[in-house]
Amino acid sequence: MLKAINISKSFPGVKALNEVNLTFYPSKVNAILGENGAGKSTLLKILTGVYTDYEGEILLNGQPVKFKSIKDAQQAGIAIIHQELNLIPALNIVENLFLGQEIRNNWGLLDTPKMTQITKELLAKLELNVSPNTLVQNLKVGEQQLIEIAKALLADAQVILMDEPTSALSDKEIENLHRIIAGLKKEGKTIVYISHKMDELFKIAETYTVMRDGNSIDAGEMSQTTEQDLIRKMVGREVLIQKKQGNTNITKDLLSIRNFTLPHPTLKNRNLLDNISFNLKEGEILGIFGLMGAGRTELLETIFGLNVTKVQGTISIDNREVSIKSPKDAIKHGMAFVTEDRKTEGLVLGMNVASNISLTTLPENSLLNEKSEKQLAKDYISTLAIKTPSAQQLCVNLSGGNQQKVVLAKWLATNPRILMLDEPTRGIDINAKNEIYEIIKKLASEGKSIIIVSSEIPELLALADRILVMSEGKLKAEFSADEANEDKLLKAAI
Amino acid sequence: MNKELLKKSQSLIALFVLCLAISILSDKFLTANNLWNVLRQISVNVCISVGMTLVVLTAGIDLSVGSVLAFTSAVCAGLLTKGIAIEPFDLLIGFTTLGGILAALLIGLLIGIFNGWVITRFSLPPFVVTLAMLTIARGATMLYTEGMPISNLGASFEFIGSGWLIGIPVPVWISLVVVAIVVFISKKTTFGRYIYAIGGNEKAAFLSGININNIKLAVYGIAGMMAAVGGVLVSSRLNSAQPNAGTSYELDSIAAVVIGGTSLSGGIGSVTGTVIGATIIGVLNNGLVLLNVSPFWQQVVKGLVILLAVIIDQKSKKK
């Protein structure tokens, strides 16, 4: 049993944790819920020895422990599987597993046969049917995650912390992971599970702790609570996601994609996009649903001019065929693209809020107009309710939800006719999510056309007038808002 | 913004302490003669380094600047002394001092643009491309000069490197103008903002509709042209273009950029920081000479200072 008693931790100007109390039980999946900024990451960092200066006490099996380093925590049997995996892509599974704890033979050289043998056993246990010599870069995300779990097992960890382990997995991979977690539970391991996905928590978790603003708000048995109840505790108020009524006023076609085909870069008889055609109407919110790898992101990227040399097919706007050879062309034709990963594709993190917002609209070959940049930033900080001390704040210091709003702002600044959103609410908290939903609805009511790609069905049901379903690069189905429901969408996507 | 100021004040303090230490150890340091001398000497490195700063801000590097300096100064000297002979027509095109200088700057610009073109067109690492250009330009210099210095470049040309204007050496004027222009470009224009954006996150910049390749072409072009400015300054000071001029200048220049607080991974740093960095190196060189430290030790000390600067930079980043 891992128990945290009255843990407090402050950063300059912020109290990240305020007398937090938590108990994690062996043979159980212990869920931690909370919005971004609730203090979950800070707590994990204390439990794994990253932060060593904190107040309060940690008890491991009744014994007080104080970890002085990450290694210290590992030796005590605590392992963490991060949201972003910590593997080295160019090394193989064996090399990754034994990194830093290689087994040597009597000559002091690597005992590869022995390490390979142990790896084989671990892979078999995790039902991962690949050769131990496979390079990690050739594994799927779900498989890579299992390698992380294998690492924890190799270290004989008793407590395994998982930080949003399923955020990048397909349904099948999630199912597999859940099965493996059930196995670990049987062996008496303590699993700590952080996730934003409610349905998943109700499926696998036994206990929960809700955190909010650095406090532990409530704890109990999953079987004694409901989704609405948990959400209310997380945000401190009731949130209802309502299903959207179909909007019948929209009739005029704006964008029309015809016969988009994009060959797979390495596999010969596969296409990333396979003969895709659809229309987008003026003022319409078009949802695109599909599992990971269905080709949703590739579709948006291709429309935005990223795969010019490889793609076949045509794009028309206002019934006129247009040639879009780069993001620059796309922007000229009134498109905007809020990318999936705000950190690597959306923002220049080392630049401030104002510079990021103005990046899409700076006049070319010209002097900067600091005044108008500041005004632009000020406008969007107030209309989108971006929480930042000032427009001069570096984006790296903002929370996920606010970073996403900055990305949104920089694209709204171009005054686009077509706004493409790729997983616009991934990894941001429920409050920020709802704010972004409101913004999207408002934009559509102002006549903007919106394409939204999402893995979260409730999100699409709440927003979209029409939903397309993609699978393996093909358009599989189309539903109006009235016909669509969770079952139909999932069935079409699999 | 505040961080940048802090960083700059750090290196300014380092420069001040360095000057103080040398002036205590040697009474020759704080003489007008010596100080002008120092400024004149650093003007070459300042010109090269401000160009280098723009390159490094895009997360690139230009190793060819020393060789480009030599090549452009050789061509400039060749044009001034021999002109261009077009034998079939029995024609000889002579060059005025200004004409020779403009030709040199143009050649530097073109070499730089060529660097940028190869880097962007073939998606190659700048390190490798400019390393190749380092060798090519040096070889071309040897071919052009046949390994011999080209001397007697005329009084008006010599004035650029050795003359005075309103009580200040001409090279110092030139480096001041160059610095002012590049600071302005980097901080006040869209182009400058794009440079920072590309270095900070190239993918995000590209998706924002920025033409990455054009910006890079321009940045490497400017770096090449700045090397040519350095070439003109060096050869006019000596009134002679040396085929081995500028050897390892790229290292001094990168050192100035790094000591000035610009991150080699791009996106963070400033031209003014680089000027301070170049001044620190110049003062250090001068001080070691004044203190009669052997030239071999001078190199060791310079290397240690670079290490120290990077360590301090890294530490302050972690805070």
Share of chain B above pLDDT 90, in %: 71
Tell me whether residues B203 and A359 touch, CB distance under 8 A.
no
**What does the buried/exposed string (b/e) look like for A266-291 if buried means 16 or more CB atoms within 10 Å of the residue's CB?**
eeeeebbbbebebebbbbbbbbbbbb
Asked if A336 and B198 count as a contact pair (C-beta separation under 8 A), the reply is no
Q: Do B200 and A392 touch (CB under 8 A)?
A: no
Residue A317's pLDDT is 93
CA dist A288 and A477 (Å) reads 10
Q: Do B207 and A349 touch (CB under 8 A)?
A: no
Give the contacts of B57 (CB within 8 A, at least 6 positions apart).
B186, B195, B196, B199, B219, B262, B266, B267, B268, B269
Beta bridge partners of A478: A468
Domain ranges within chain B, ordered by starting residue: 37-318
User: How close, in Å, is residue A366 to chain B by CA atoms?
Assistant: 6
pLDDT score at B236: 93
- Domain parsing of chain A, residue ranges: 2-235, 282-294+327-493
Domain A282-294+327-493, CATH number (from 1.10.274.10, 3.40.50.720, 3.10.20.740, 3.40.50.300): 3.40.50.300
Compute the distance between CA of residue B106 and CA of residue B232 in angstroms, rounded to an integer: 12
Model pLDDT, residue A30 = 95
Class of domain A2-235: alpha beta
In terms of C-beta density within 10 A (0-12 exposed, 13-18 middle, 19 or more buried), how is residue B234 classed?
Answer: buried
Would the CATH topology of A2-235 be identical to that of A282-294+327-493? yes
| A351 chain-B contacts, CB cut-off 8 A | 196-197, 200, 267
CATH number for the region B37-318 comes to 1.10.3470
Which residues of chain B fall short of a pLDDT of 50?
Answer: 1, 319
Half-sphere exposure of A401 (CA within 13 A, CB side): 18
- Give the pLDDT confidence score for residue B90 in this predicted structure: 79
pLDDT (0 to 100) of residue B10 = 80
* Per-residue confidence (pLDDT) for residue B231, from 0 to 100: 95
Q: Please answer whether residues A31 and A218 qualify as being in contact, where contact means their C-beta atoms are separated by less than 8 angstroms.
A: no
Task: Select the residue of B188, B201, B268 nearest A347 (Cβ to Cβ).
Answer: B201
CA of B208 to nearest chain A CA: how many angstroms apart?
5
pLDDT of the residue at B163: 87
CA-based torsion, A225, A228, A234, A238: positive or negative? negative
CB interface of B with A, residues 76-115, below 8 Å: none
Q: Residues of A438-456 as b/e, b for ≥16 C-beta within 10 angstroms? A: ebbeebbeeebbbbbbbbb
What residue of A is the nearest CA neighbor of B1? A392
Check residue A241 and give its pLDDT: 59
Count the alpha carbons within 13 Å of A447 in the hemisphere toward its beta carbon.
5
pLDDT in tens, chain A (494 residues): 899 999 999 876 567 898 999 999 999 999 998 876 678 888 999 999 989 999 999 999 989 999 998 889 988 999 998 877 788 888 999 999 998 888 998 988 999 999 999 999 999 988 888 999 999 988 887 888 889 889 988 988 999 999 888 866 777 888 888 999 999 999 999 999 998 778 889 999 999 999 987 889 899 999 999 888 887 787 665 455 566 666 667 778 899 999 999 988 766 677 889 999 999 999 999 999 987 678 899 999 999 999 888 889 999 999 999 999 999 999 999 999 999 888 889 999 999 999 999 999 998 888 999 999 999 999 999 999 888 888 999 998 888 888 999 999 999 999 999 999 999 987 777 788 888 999 999 999 888 999 999 877 888 888 999 999 998 888 999 998 888 887 788 778 76
The answer to whether A344 contacts B192, with C-beta atoms less than 8 Å apart, is no
Residue A354 sits at φ, ψ, to 5 deg, of -60, -45
Three-state DSSP class for residue B123: coil
Spatial distance between the Cα atoms of A110 and A129, rounded to a whole number of angstroms: 24
Tell me which residue of A283, A288, A282, A287 sits closest to A253, measured CA to CA.
Answer: A282
Rg (CA), chain A: 24
Interface A-B, measured as beta-carbon pairs within 8 A, has a size of: 74
Pairwise CB contact (< 8 Å): B204 & A346: yes
Quick one: which of A351, A478, A356 has its CA closest to A407? Answer: A356
pLDDT for res A115: 94
Q: Going by C-beta distance under 8 Å and a sequence separation of 6 or more, which residues neighbour residue B54?
A: B182, B185, B186, B195, B219, B222, B223, B271
Residue carrying structure tokens 């490889």: A310
Min Cα distance B5 → chain A (Å) is 14
**Per-residue confidence (pLDDT) for residue A13, from 0 to 100:** 55
Kindly provide the ipTM of the predicted complex, given to two decimals: 0.84
| Contact residues for B224 (Cβ-Cβ < 8 A; gap 6+) | B51, B62, B64, B65, B68, B108, B109, B110, B111, B112, B113, B115
Positive or negative CA dihedral for A351, A355, A361, A364? Answer: negative
Instruction: Say yes or no for a CB contact (<8 Å) between A326 and B191.
Output: no
Provide the pLDDT for residue B261: 87
